[in-house]
């Protein structure tokens, strides 16, 4: 297993991320929640200009808890405990804004991506609503150090789990789990979907898998869009390789279904959504088993 680094929070030292393992792998899925971390490193809080809950505006609120069902169903759940505002593992490893740093960045750094320009690189410059995170510039060593210490081991772990899953079942399906604000940009006609499935416009997952997933969620009563306004980020793009039986599908869930976005708390809709997501995962796994004639987990 990849080595898991630690962070120091107000409550002490904790793993920077973790994998919640099933007792036995039973389905060819790996679930990942890269943006729901809510354990803030103390040195990061000392460096930010934001106070109170303002720093939390980038969190995918409680998404890891929505998918806590998956280990019992036979799949691992990998979740970051550090917040997205500290480090975004759903970016290229070196998407960095040179204006954030006190010295010149290495030549290999991508300083010109759309995400960097928008303030949302590997080390974000802003949280939601365009609020700057830092009171002063970071050292280059600090920025590169976060990537080497936390980003790379996180991806090592994710890649290892996908490789193990593919070896056991002959295929692997990564579900990259996210949330979107209830004020998400409306689609034509004013539609604001409950969920968005992203497959990088048909390149990161087999078309049949996406169709089946969409149908399962729709039958549970959800309005499901595909690729708009979210087609999938770096994780979906990097790990989605259908030609070798490794599929990646991003799911974005409307926060209004389960949380109060102002108080950062789950509301009464949370238990029902979590229950329906468990039903979705179990049914989707049955469909995959039927379509792909998977080997028994014990084999």
Pairing of strands 17-20, 6-9: unpaired
Residue 108: how many CB atoms within 10 A of its CB? 7
pLDDT tens figures, 178-215: 999 998 877 777 778 999 999 999 999 999 999 999 99
| pTM, to two decimals | 0.95
Q: Where are the domains of the chain?
A: 6-83+153-292
> What does each of the 299 residues of the chain score in pLDDT, given as a tens digit?
558 999 999 999 999 999 999 999 999 999 999 999 999 999 999 999 998 789 999 999 999 999 999 999 999 999 999 999 999 999 999 999 999 999 999 999 999 999 999 999 999 999 987 899 999 999 999 999 999 999 999 999 999 999 999 999 999 999 999 999 998 877 777 778 999 999 999 999 999 999 999 999 999 999 999 999 999 999 999 999 999 999 999 999 999 999 999 999 999 999 999 999 999 999 999 999 998 877 665 44
Tokens coding 170: 């002959």
The DSSP code sequence of the chain is -----EEEETTEEEESEEEE--SS--SSEEEEESS------HHHHHHBS--GGGGGGG--TTHHHHTTTHHHHT--EEEE-S-TTT--TTS-TTB--GGGBSSPPPTTSB--SHHHHTT-SSS-SEEGGGEE-BSSPBPHHHHHHHIIIIIHHHHHHHHHHHHHHHHHHS-EEEEEEEEE-TTPPPBTTTB--SEEEE-TTTTSS-HHHHHHHHHHHHHTT--EEESSS----HHHHHH-BGGGTEEEEEEEEEGGGTEETTTTEE-TTHHHHHHHHHHHHHHHHHHHHHHHTPPPTT-
Tell me the C-alpha distance between 222 and 278, whole Å: 14
Q: With the C-alpha atoms ordered 162, 168, 171, 173, is the resulting torsion angle positive or negative? A: negative
d(CA 206, CA 173): 10
| Residue of 270, 246, 244, 247 lying closest to 257 (CA atoms) | 270
Q: What is the pLDDT of residues 1-15, one digit of tens each?
A: 558 999 999 999 999
**6-83+153-292 maps to CATH 3.40.630.40:** yes
**Can you tell me the distance from the alpha carbon of 44 to that of 149, in angstroms, rounded to the nearest whole number?**
15
């Amino acid at each position: 297993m990849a080595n898991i680094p630690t962070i120091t929070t107000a409550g002490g030292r904790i793993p920077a991320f973790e994998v919640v393992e099933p007792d036995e792998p039973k389905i060819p899925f790996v679930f990942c929640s890269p943006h729901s971390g809510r354990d803030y490193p103390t040195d990061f809080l000392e460096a930010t200009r934001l106070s109170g809950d303002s720093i939390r505006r980038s969190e995918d609120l409680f998404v890891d808890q929505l998918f806590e069902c998956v280990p019992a169903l036979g799949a691992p759940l990998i979740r970051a405990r550090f917040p997205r505002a500290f480090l975004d593992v759903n970016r290229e490893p070196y998407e960095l804004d040179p204006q954030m740093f006190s010295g010149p960045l290495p030549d290999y750094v991508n300083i010109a991506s759309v995400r960097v320009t928008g303030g949302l690189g590997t080390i974000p410059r802003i949280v939601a609503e365009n609020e700057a995170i830092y009171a002063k510039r970071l050292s280059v060593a600090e920025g590169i150090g976060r990537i080497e210490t936390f980003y790379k081991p996180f991806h090592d772990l994710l890649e290892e789990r996908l490789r193990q899953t593919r070896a056991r079942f002959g295929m692997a399906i990564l579900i990259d789990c996210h949330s979107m604000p209830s004020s998400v940009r409306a689609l034509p006609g004013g539609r604001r979907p409950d969920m968005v499935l992203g497959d990088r416009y048909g390149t990161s997952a087999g078309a049949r898998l996406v169709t089946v997933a969409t149908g399962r969620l729709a039958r549970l009563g959800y309005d499901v869009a595909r690729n708009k306004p979210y087609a999938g980020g770096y994780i979906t793009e990097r790990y989605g390789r259908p030609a070798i039986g490794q599929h990646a599908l991003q799911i974005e869930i409307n926060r209004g279904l389960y949380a109060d976005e102002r108080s950062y708390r789950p509301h009464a809709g949370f238990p029902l959504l979590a229950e329906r997501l468990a039903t979705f995962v179990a049914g989707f796994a049955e469909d995959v088993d039927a379509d792909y004639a998977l080997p028994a987990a014990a084999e």
